[in-house]
Copies of this chain bind each other. A is one copy, B any other.
Amino acid sequence: MSTTNTAGDLSRFSINQMTVKQLSMPELVAQCVELGIPGVGLWREPVAAYGLDATAKLIRDAGLTVTTLCRGGFFTAIDPAERSAALEDNRRAIDEAATLGTDTLVLVSGGLPAGSKDLHGARERIADALSELGPYAFERGVRLAIEPLHPMFASDRCVVSTLAQALDIAERFPAEQVGVTVDTYHIWWDDTAPAQIARAGASSRIHTFQLADWITPLPAGVLNGRGQIGDGAIDMREWKGYVEAAGYTGPIEVELFNDDLWARDGRELLSETAERFVEHAA
A-to-B contact residues, CB < 8 Å: 112, 116-120, 123, 150-152, 154-156, 161-162, 164-165, 188-192, 214, 216-222, 232-235, 238
Contact = CB atoms under 8 A, between A and B. Distances in A.
A117 B235 contact: yes
Contacts of A117: 233-235, 238
B233 A155 contact: yes
Chain copies in the assembly?
2
Nearest to A112: B233
A232 B151 contact: no
10 contacts: A150-B151, A150-B152, A151-B189, A152-B222, A154-B188, A156-B216, A161-B190, A218-B221, A218-B222, A222-B222
Contacts of A118: 235
Contacts of A232: 155
Given A151-B189, A161-B190, 17 more contacts: A116-B233, A117-B233, A117-B234, A117-B238, A119-B188, A150-B152, A152-B218, A152-B222, A154-B188, A154-B233, A155-B189, A155-B233, A162-B190, A217-B220, A217-B221, A218-B221, A219-B220
Contacts of A116: 233
Nearest to A213: B117
Nearest to A236: B117
Contacts of A189: 119, 151, 154-155, 161
Interface centre among A118, A120, A151 (most CB of B within 10 A): A151
A151 B232 CA distance: 15
